[in-house]
Structure 1
Amino acid sequence: MARPFKHRKTGVYWFRKAVPQDLRGIIGKTEINKTLDTKDAAVARTRHAEMAVTVEREWQEHRRRQALLSGPMLDEVDNETIARAGKVYYAALLEEDEEVRLDGFSDEPRLPLERPDDPEAANDLIARDGFKRPTFDARQADREWLDAHNRAQWARGTIDPFYAGEVDEVMSWPQFGIRLAPNSPSRKFIARALQSAAINAEKARRERDQGEPIETPLMPEPAAASHSRPERASSKPKNGETITSLLADWWKEAQATGTKPSTYDSYARTVKYFITFLGHDDATHVAPADVVAFKDHRLASINPRTNKPVLPKTVMDSDLVALKSLFGWAVINHRVPSNPATGISIKRARVRNLQRDPGFTDEEAAALLKAADLYTPGNEHPKTAAGKRWLPWLMAYTGARVGEVAQLRKQDIKLVDGMWIIHITPEAGTVKTDKPRWVTVHLHLIEKGFPEFVTSASPGHLFLTPSAEGDVLGPLQGLKNRLAELARSIVTDPRVAPNHGWRHRFRAQWRLAELSMDDNEFIQGWSSGKSSARYGMTHYVMVAKSMAKFPRQDITRSAPQDAVPAPVNTL
């Protein structure tokens, strides 16, 4: 296995790899040498693995484009390809938008782009200034003009020179692998599909600007190759057994037996990564070596949200579990002969003594709750802002999982027999145990005005907006991420989970108050609890006395040294 090369004079590690014979004429080198910019051996190994994946992908792309250039030109493409071009372009634009947001915006004001009527002059200005890192407001102003420009041309049936030029670029992408003749009549239809995709992508960007967690769609699958196009590794296998089809058929069965949608979402993410890594979707051509290589690749990958390597626990418990489960199902159902993921694992390191409780300390809790009380909404959706205001308090006084309270609807909080109760139910989204439960609202929450907030809210979900198709899980995950980011900006200790720390704290405080642990198991919805069978439908009356004795949260304590209790907008 290739390893980092240490420069004998400087001590800096380098990446070094011979260029394959078939690519030397294209690349113009016989060997790739790139500095890893570190003298730390452990850091060098991680960067070397990342660099190896990047270089290999670059070489694969060189080969793919060479094959494309040597293949025949098409005079026309069918309507399905034109429609797919729009979908692929839409997904690419939202991926690009997500990358911009993850990179962050500049604090230095930049003048908005000038507004010439001449499209060529506009493109020149975009090339000159449009790719500088803007402020959030400047980017909005730029896009408003570009959107108006696109819509005006769309309405008049005008093909913008920019989108006309994008046709060849998009058709060369792996989803198509097509060389289109210069005079092809299909060009104008593809350009118009790209124009339409840009307009629709701008709608999604505007919703993101308002704090709506709009999901980036999965990139559409590559089309099956026809006799007139060069064969690609990603073409659909002749027997029809694709990894994608295994996922779809597994889910039909798993859904019927009660598997949660969140499990499907996790498996789908892994399948997306796996297919991209393999360069094909053929389930019958996956070997154990492919899974091992994928495991190593994922361990060397950078999480775009944290800008740190993907955690081994994520690779072990999400990626490998998904592949083992999916291919295991395929073997049982005689879809593939063997499970390529069997026996592949990651050696778990010994768990260190974290030397702290997994729940928030009194000082950390005070800092988080103060920030919630003082939170000033930014340029975000009002429901997102409401979540940042109320959800920390709800977790503090219910010990619920963050998703269980983040998905609450107006009808889930009601006044019954003089008591305010919260109905935590899978009908609102998802509950880990699949069992509904009722929790009494703590007096402190009532004093802070939570019932008034609920009463004045519009019908439906209090803190998120489901998608047009009614999906709750996507927006819910986005809201959970925003809450975690805000909490982590306040409590920076990595040994405590930014949302789950409330759940541990609630249970610890309950024990210290010497309250009934049976009541606690029901209130927190512990899957091992037996109290739900004992309490039945009126349990909230029986646990109300315990909840009344639960200690109030004291937010007068000093913030911890590593906390920054500033109610900042992290979007």
Structure 2
Amino acid sequence: MVLQMARPSARVGTLNRQYRRRYPADIRRILDGPGSSFTRPTGWGREGITLTLGTASSAQAKAAHARISADVEAIFATLRAGPRPLSHKETVALSGEVYRALIAEHEENPGDVERWMRAEVENLRAESGQHGPASLKVETDAERKRRGFEGLFGARVSALLSRKALWVEEESRSRLLEQVSAAVRQGNLLLMDRAAGDYTPDPQAHRFPEVPAFTASTPSGRGKLTMAALFERWEKHPEQQNTSPDTKRRYQGVFAAVSKFLGNPDAREVSSGDLQRYVEARMEATESPLSPRAARDVHKAALSSVYGWATTKATLTGVKANPAAGVGIKVVKARATRPKGLTDPEAHRLVDAALAVQVAEAPPQTLPAARRWAILVCFYTGSRIGAVAQLRSEDVSVRPDGATIRFTPEAGEGIKGDARVVPVHPRLVELGFLAFVEAAPPGPLFYNPSQRRRAAARIPQGDLVARELAEWAGKVVAASDLGKVLHAIRHRFMTCCRHAGIEEQYVEAIAGHAPGSQNRQYGEFPMAVLARELCRLEAARVEGRPAPAAEGS
């Protein structure tokens, strides 16, 4: 059997021949893949490519067909290599094409001066983020500017990249949008002069370098995939939409640190040896050394997770193996010299310190309120301080089966896992917790969002409250042999539940632990049942108070 080469094909309704090509399977996956940012050139349809050859001549059609075939194969090679970065010089050169096209189109008949003044105003509005669809999230200045530039110049940049058959990384596109804005501004000012009758040559016209001949990437000359770019692809992929912002921030910090240590390498060329050198250097650092556990559970885990994902998207990322898989970190469990939870005297000191904060001195949305109520809620729910610190007034309610607290990711990032509702212990009611909540405005109980200095700050306010409480509690308990005091409350809660005879399944449901068996993942825990169990906890035991003396002793 002899395979025939692709050849010009006939087209109904015209004598001109055409080029037709269906997409190979891997190219189709790239074009249709989630988050693909490649702008299809003219003639690139859903299933394949159809382009007119512009001639009915058989010889001319064959020559045109061969040229287009070569161009298409070059673009396929570019797609297979993945998005490429643009150097600063390449970015400025491409923006120069936009400048020259703008001048060529309007220099002969520029219209009136006001036209270009309005164009300049639009450019300034874009720079301040007033173009493009409004964002529902709090944006940084850079994000607002990027959205504005995309709204005003995005179509122009996409057309430019399409003509050049370029697929660039998001970071490079952002820089190109900014350079295009500067080039258009330069053009607007020149055309304003032209409209006023001034045809003096533009002294800055030659600042744009010549546009290079962009070629398809090859294994030896492919575009560099930085560590930051790899992380960005992982972060923005639809599969990460439910990954917590806290996890993303932690992973981003690790990738930035590795990139700095290795000298901003190509992420596809990082080896297990490179990452082993990194973790060893961090563990042996004289300032802020990593513990082996942090090196394994934070740094290696972040690298392994992102690189593991990248290998499943090798067609897009070019990452063939996970270098973190070969990193060895041995963690030797420390020998316990004391209980993990607070002892009775330690619990007593911390509860007394919380109760010493008078209700009148602890209005809602203040740190004193957190020192009193957040600490007590931890003692009587076993919850993590991060979850308690983000509680809102609407998360506490009184129901027919009793008062409840709802811990939900909707309130912030402190929730690890799904939302859960737990009963309020009678001791909290007795101390006035419900009255405190009732007097609070809608929103967070322990911090005031309006007092946020920077709306785009990376650390959530709830986390800042949790850190403040951790520092304060550490000073109150003053136990040098105890690590995280507030986590020790969680351990104590479990111990007190066992003293009270509360079954593990109820403890898990109240404290937010993962179910200990598959069976416990089915069904719900009625609130009346959880309240019944939680009421078994005796306040004196939880708070570490001495047992009352027996009568007659």
What is the match of residue 487 of structure 1?
A: 473
What is the match of residue 272 of structure 1?
A: 256
Give the TM-score of the pair, scaled to structure 2: 0.52
Is the alpha carbon distance of 1:381 and 1:520 closer, same or farther for their aligned partners in structure 2, counting shifts above 3 Å?
A: closer
- Structure 2 contact 227–267 (Cα < 8 Å) conserved: yes
What is the match of residue 174 of structure 1?
A: none
Distance 1:395 1:556 in 2: 14
Is the alpha carbon distance of 1:438 and 1:243 closer, same or farther for their aligned partners in structure 2, counting shifts above 3 Å?
A: same
Give the TM-score of the pair, scaled to structure 1: 0.51
Shift of 1:514: 1.2
Is the alpha carbon distance of 1:373 and 1:409 closer, same or farther for their aligned partners in structure 2, counting shifts above 3 Å?
A: same
Distance 2:409 2:506 in 1: 20
Distance 1:359 1:319 in 2: 27
Work out which of the residue numbers 293, 296, 299 in structure 1 matches 2:280: 296
Which residues in structure 2 correspond to 1:377-456 (within 5 Å)? 382-417=365-400, 419-430=402-413, 434-456=417-439
Distance 2:322 2:537 in 1: 51
Distance 1:273 1:254 in 2: 25
- Structure 1 contact 388–483 (Cα < 8 Å) conserved: yes
Distance 1:472 1:285 in 2: 30
Distance 1:415 1:517 in 2: 26
Is the alpha carbon distance of 1:533 and 1:285 closer, same or farther for their aligned partners in structure 2, counting shifts above 3 Å?
A: closer
Which residues in structure 2 correspond to 1:139-538 (within 5 Å)? 239-253=223-237, 255-256=239-240, 258-280=242-264, 282-301=266-285, 309-334=289-314, 335=317, 336-349=319-332, 351-375=333-357, 382-417=365-400, 419-430=402-413, 434-465=417-448, 474-491=460-477, 492-529=479-516, 530-531=519-520, 533-535=522-524
Shift of 1:333: 1.5
- Structure 2 contact 227–255 (Cα < 8 Å) conserved: yes
Distance 2:298 2:424 in 1: 35
Identity value in percent: 30
Distance 1:384 1:373 in 2: 14
Shift of 1:472: 9.0
Is the alpha carbon distance of 1:531 and 1:522 closer, same or farther for their aligned partners in structure 2, counting shifts above 3 Å?
A: farther
3-state SS of paired residue (1:544): helix
1:347 counterpart letter in structure 2: K
Across the two proteins, how many residue pairs are aligned to each other? 326
Shift of 1:418: 6.4
1:476 counterpart letter in structure 2: G
Q: Which runs of 5+ in 1 are unaligned?
A: 1-78, 84-89, 92-225, 229-236, 559-571
**C-alpha deviations, 1:268-320, integer Å up to 9, x for none?**
111121222223253234233321221122213467xxxx5322211111111
- Structure 1 contact 429–472 (Cα < 8 Å) conserved: no
Is the alpha carbon distance of 1:460 and 1:302 closer, same or farther for their aligned partners in structure 2, counting shifts above 3 Å?
A: farther
**C-alpha deviations, 1:334-386, integer Å up to 9, x for none?**
2224333231121222x2431332111111111111222224999x9953332
Q: Which runs of 5+ in 2 are unaligned?
A: 1-122, 128-140, 143-207, 211-220, 547-553
Is the alpha carbon distance of 1:531 and 1:320 closer, same or farther for their aligned partners in structure 2, counting shifts above 3 Å?
A: closer
1:312 counterpart letter in structure 2: P
What is the match of residue 541 of structure 1?
A: 528
Distance 2:494 2:447 in 1: 27
Is the alpha carbon distance of 1:300 and 1:507 closer, same or farther for their aligned partners in structure 2, counting shifts above 3 Å?
A: same
Distance 2:229 2:417 in 1: 28
Greater gyration radius: 2
Shift of 1:439: 1.2
- Structure 1 contact 244–281 (Cα < 8 Å) conserved: no
1:521 counterpart letter in structure 2: E
